[in-house]
Structure 1
Amino acid sequence: MSAFLDAPSPEAFSLTCEEIGRAVREHGADTVTEELRRAVLFTQDRELAAALLDIATAHRLAPLSPAEARAVVAGPAQWRYLDSLGEPVDAVPRTPCEKLMLDLLHDDIALPVAPPAKGPTVAQSMLIGGTAQPGEGASGGLTVFLSSLAAALVRREDIGRVVTVVLAPEPTTVTVRKDAALDHWTVHVPVDSPVALTQTEMASHRAGITWWLTKLLPRCGLTPDVVHVRYSDDGSLAVADAARVLGAKLVFTVTPDPHRHLAERHPEDAEDLTAMRFDLHRVRVADHLVERADQVITIGGRQDEVLTHFPRLDPAELLALEEGIAPAPPPSGRSLVPSLYAESALPRLDPSARGLPVLLNVGRLHPMKQQPRLVRAWLDAGLHRTTALVLIGGSTTARTPDEQAVLDEVLALSRSAPEARGRLAVLPAWSNQDVRRLQHELAAAPVSSGAPHVYACASAKEEFGIAVLEAMEAGLLALGPQRGGLPNYVDQGRNGFLADTSDTRSLAEGLRHVVDLGPAAAPIAAAGQRTVRARFRIDAVAEPFAALYTRLSG
């Protein structure tokens, strides 16, 4: 705690909160409470005092009397602390989110109340991306997977209810909503920010996220038996804090990403010390989540790399669970291909592209997804002469900085290659159902040359690749990155292809190879379709998740 007192920061607050938890276990609550009391009363920094009081609240410690708390701290940290003591709160809000907080404390918000569930209640968090349309902002494959998983779980007799926790898109309302047909609830947690939080901003809102969850879930009859977090960030620590307060078991999906990212971004000297510190912080967060979880799982079969970074994990206790996809939606009765040719301010296909094989890429616009590298590789390989490239993703308005930067780079490449005009289409995000209908429509329309329609995933890595699974299920020939989760189900040259996406030249070679296969691609695409339909149906994938949640809740 002394390091936090000397140099307080949101990240230091988050890690100090973990240290206090360990100190309580090792030295007892009374000793730690006394140390917190001395620290709060000693400091003249009111923000530091508020942070220390939030740490006390997170661990249900009471270092100050209500009168002392009112004297040394103001605002939400004081209100959270007083609420934990069962004390009334009377204050004037300064922001819409503070007003919401006080309204909830004063029982001035009407909330739905769920009836008792007939089985365990499972909460899953998705604080990055949330329920936004996949492909917009930070919303991607995890949004699709968790929605499908929730639906599959609640259809089972051994799971009572699923609660998905997301961050509210704006801090002026509290929304708790049930799916119309299923016992799947979505809880939107307000945060005092006018825009969606990034991972670097989560630590500043950790105490608030925890407080809202510990109030909203019981108030709505949604107290979970099991809580599942999937990101190595302070948002997951906030949800884990709520799980501890609510008495729920904690599941954590661990990936090698934080450690890998740290090593790759800063191989020698750190040019960007701020970025390096945050990457190191995420490594520590992952360690803390592994330590706190009642069950740690990995995605697919990648335990070896995880165990390298987390040597304290027992291989015998580490579960590998695969992700999956819902059945394809029924045809809508209308063709979606004409949308690729419709006039727009962004590039679209022209009549010269009709009948050509399509290289399709779907997903959020983000540097990790490497859409500009895909465009450059497509151009360098000369594939603009024989194929059409279609990119779908990104917001139509209010783009994030990442989205705008990626889009600007793609458009610059398009302008630099006038010979490719009419062969590149750039469209904003579509609904998942429309994307899948387009994939099936393309797969059902082979081209006269015999060359395949291809799903081209140029990401630096994919943890599992939900979009790739969906394309394979439709019958498209898939090409994706060697790094990440795709090698768990893509058998090179037999049911799909892997490429080195870290290099434009190797990606171009991979694209050219799959296009040049011509009619020989058909059995490979068909094998990929069989792989997904046999192994990654969401109902089958939900089985081991349900078994885990049921075991922990029992």
Structure 2
Amino acid sequence: MNEFIEFRNRVYDNESNDSYPLQFLDEYINNSKAINSDEARVVEQIRTIKQLELNKQLGEKEIDELISFLGEHSSTDRFTVDAVLNLFNDEIKQIVEKKIKDVLLNQQYDGQKLYHVLDICIECGIDILGDNDLLFMLQQYELDLEITSILLDYMDRFKRPGFKDAIYKLLTLDYPDGIKIQGINLLMNLYPMETVDQSFVEKHIRNEKNKVFFDSYMDFLKTDFAFEKQGTSILQAMFYGDFEDSGKGNSGGLAVLLKGLGEEISKDSRISHVFTITITQELNKPFISFHGDKHVFIRLPIYLDQSVRDKFIKRELFIKRQIANYLNRSEIKPDVFHIRFLDNASKAVAHLSKDLNSKLVFTLTPDPHRNMFDGLGQLKELGFNELIEKLNKIKIGDELIRTSDGIVGIGNGDVKTELAVYFPQFKDDIVNGKIEMIGEGIQTGQSIDGEAIAAYSNRLIEWNETNKGFFEKPVILNVGRLAVLKGQMELLKAWSNSKLSETHNLLIIGGDLERPSKEEEMVMEFFKNFLQKHPQFKDRFIHKGAMSNLDIRLLEREIIERDFDYPHIYLCSSVKEEFGIAILEAMSIGFLTLGPIKGGVKSYMENGENGFLIDTSNGETIAEETEKHLYDSKIDKDAVKKIQAAGQKTVDENFSIQKISHEFVSFYLSLEGEKENEI
């Protein structure tokens, strides 16, 4: 029995899915550890919010109660604002305005509450702050980056001039680039462009680090930027990483996929453009990059607080407005929006798609659903905040299933069956009819120009000089961003504590060496401490920072050309992998590939046929199952070569980016009401 899945089915069989988070909280609290008084108050607030939404009406008392909740918990803040906006209409506008005015007049707020009150004002078109109020808040909260950002947004929304000097003063402070760009953008929206002090900009805004981005962004603001529309236009949201930073921070295989997919989809004559958007904090690349004639990559300079666990939840509506502003300025109205995560940034894009009457496509994965229970199917003992965070994501997933026009599952029919376990909505014929199962893909048969090969060869020579003899043994390769869930630390333990270290050297590639995140730092510190404690492995284990996708594929080709008694292995050590772009790339080169049994890899990998599925729960299971397959006396060198060849064939026949992109185009056009044979 799986308690989580059983509960999901019970709620959806008997209750409105709007009540799901509260129902789960009640059951979790009844069957689990006691909660403290603050946590109990949060639960009671969620109960009140859900009941108000079910009643579908707000009065003076209810608005008072909702506003009183603001500032206590990030999730209830989000639920509260959503409830106000969902139930807002012209009849209650005056009441909402009066209640907000009372809060502001009596200064009954802290920074958290003020932020969300201003968010409501912007969304509801309530321009309530006088000039003195704005000036006071700009000065009072100048060190609160999110309040500063929302105040600039407020002035932009309601076109409030008269604060030029105050804005200039703010921009002399040591703000992140995202805030400074927002301030300059506001000045250029409120005043004639030629009146903006360029000497001030050079002194306080533009610098060596951000000049590439800043100059390209200024060109965008000064130019009537428009994209000619002939056909269907697609907007795909990424939000995690950058095409040029795959393997760094939270940028992984998705960046590789969306870059290749966008380029290939945009080649179709029926597609006008593919726009891929991300949010950037490091403004060291251009605002807009073209990947092919019609694939446009846009880096939005939106400030997010990187210190908080869920950086999107508070800024959801701000993200929606910033994307809308860019699209409006560029005269872009995407026909189809495609989102891929259960988070508040994706929810922002979903709401924007509905505001623009566009079609919404949503890639659905059971995450965090399959992390809600242990190996015995019992509910995990989660900390209260972690529980609330996961429930928020589950709630978003349920909302997106209901509101999307099309749902993509990653993989084949077996994966769809697994999805149905976590999403009882699949029993509904309407929901089931939205679903299309599409795999992911990679560039196959890719020709690489001589200049790129020569540049790579020079880097490889330098590498070989510092790591002499490393490639004189078969290699276990692992590529991807550094993270606990990616399992690189467990892989190092597995390799070093098993026969694997006798027959193979270990190469792990990934992570930002120059500006590592806290998680990357932790993983790299583990590697460093490991080598200090085990110096005998110093020349046998190498960790290299993230490399470009092209360099990785060239390196893989270099490795695979060296023949040994034992095969070169690509080992994906992730606890689970939704699909695995890096696995496909290694299979296509000819590595013997081992992937996690949890997730979507099993949709294309058959044990002993074209690779091996292993339990990647920890170092012990990785070592034990890899040894079992690698040293199996029944599998000789010829048998291994057949498995490697079968892996290559699997990718070539089923997962070329050309094939996958055709499936996506067909799906997108079907939502637009076009038929496959229309050109």
Relative to the length of structure 1, the TM-score reads 0.88
Q: CA deviation at 1:278?
A: 1.7
Q: Paired residues, what number?
A: 538
Distance 2:84 2:226 in 1: 35
Identity %: 27
Question: 2:652 matched to which residue of 1?
Answer: 533
Residue 87 to residue 290, structure 1, CA distance change in 2 (3 Å): farther
Secondary structure class of the residue paired with 1:139 = coil
Question: 1:140 matched to which residue of 2?
Answer: 252
In the TM superposition, what whole-angstrom CA distance separates every residue of 1:106-133 from its partner, at most 9, and x where no partner exists? 3744415133221121111111223342
In the TM superposition, what whole-angstrom CA distance separates every residue of 1:169-197 from its partner, at most 9, and x where no partner exists? 347x995424164212122212234x768
Question: 2:125 matched to which residue of 1?
Answer: 62
Matches within 5 A, 1:387-406: 387-406=504-523
- Read off the aligned partner of 2:601 and give its amino acid letter: L
In the TM superposition, what whole-angstrom CA distance separates every residue of 1:396-454 from its partner, at most 9, and x where no partner exists? 2111111011111123233333333321111111100110111122223222x2x1111
Residue 192 to residue 180, structure 1, CA distance change in 2 (3 Å): closer
Question: 2:273 matched to which residue of 1?
Answer: 161
Between stretches 367-376 and 540-549, larger displacement belongs to: 540-549
Question: 2:386 matched to which residue of 1?
Answer: 275
Question: 2:33 matched to which residue of 1?
Answer: none
1:550 aligns with 2:664: no
Residue 408 to residue 264, structure 1, CA distance change in 2 (3 Å): farther
CA contact (8 A) 2:69 2:77 kept: no
CA contact (8 A) 2:609 2:643 kept: yes
Question: 1:299 matched to which residue of 2?
Answer: 410
- Read off the aligned partner of 2:299 and give its amino acid letter: H
Give the unaligned 5+ runs of structure 1.
344-348
Secondary structure class of the residue paired with 1:202 = coil
CA contact (8 A) 1:393 1:427 kept: yes
Residue 378 to residue 282, structure 1, CA distance change in 2 (3 Å): same
Matches within 5 A, 1:353-372: 353-372=470-489
Root-mean-square deviation (Å): 2.9
In the TM superposition, what whole-angstrom CA distance separates every residue of 1:153-177 from its partner, at most 9, and x where no partner exists? 1111111101111112347x99542
- Read off the aligned partner of 2:355 and give its amino acid letter: V
In the TM superposition, what whole-angstrom CA distance separates every residue of 1:58-115 from its partner, at most 9, and x where no partner exists? 4xx3345675996797655455456555666745333414413413533744415133
Question: 1:123 matched to which residue of 2?
Answer: 235
CA contact (8 A) 1:329 1:437 kept: no
Residue 80 to residue 337, structure 1, CA distance change in 2 (3 Å): closer
1:494 aligns with 2:609: yes
Q: CA deviation at 1:54?
A: 1.7
Question: 1:418 matched to which residue of 2?
Answer: 535
Matches within 5 A, 1:53-452: 53-55=118-120, 57-58=122-123, 61-64=124-127, 76-77=149-150, 80-81=153-154, 83-84=156-157, 90=163, 92-93=166-167, 94=170, 95=175, 96-106=180-190, 108=193, 109-111=218-220, 113-170=225-282, 176-179=287-290, 181-193=292-304, 200-264=310-374, 270=381, 272-301=383-412, 302-313=415-426, 314-327=431-444, 328-330=446-448, 332-333=453-454, 335=457, 338=461, 341-343=464-466, 349-351=467-469, 353-447=470-564, 449=565, 451-452=566-567
- Read off the aligned partner of 2:326 and give its amino acid letter: L
Find the structure with the greater CA-based Rg: 2
Residue 491 to residue 540, structure 1, CA distance change in 2 (3 Å): same
Distance 1:89 1:186 in 2: 35
Between stretches 173-182 and 534-543, larger displacement belongs to: 173-182
Residue 426 to residue 374, structure 1, CA distance change in 2 (3 Å): same
CA contact (8 A) 1:369 1:459 kept: yes
- Read off the aligned partner of 2:78 and give its amino acid letter: S
Secondary structure class of the residue paired with 2:527 = helix
Distance 1:317 1:125 in 2: 20
Residue 542 to residue 39, structure 1, CA distance change in 2 (3 Å): farther
In the TM superposition, what whole-angstrom CA distance separates every residue of 1:467-517 from its partner, at most 9, and x where no partner exists? 000000111110010001100000110000000000322211222234324
Distance 2:338 2:323 in 1: 14
Give the unaligned 5+ runs of structure 2.
1-48, 50-64, 139-147, 194-217, 674-679
Residue 354 to residue 545, structure 1, CA distance change in 2 (3 Å): closer
Distance 1:35 1:149 in 2: 49
CA contact (8 A) 1:262 1:280 kept: no
Relative to the length of structure 2, the TM-score reads 0.73
In the TM superposition, what whole-angstrom CA distance separates every residue of 1:280-328 from its partner, at most 9, and x where no partner exists? 2222222233233222222113223322332224223222121101133
Distance 1:209 1:46 in 2: 22
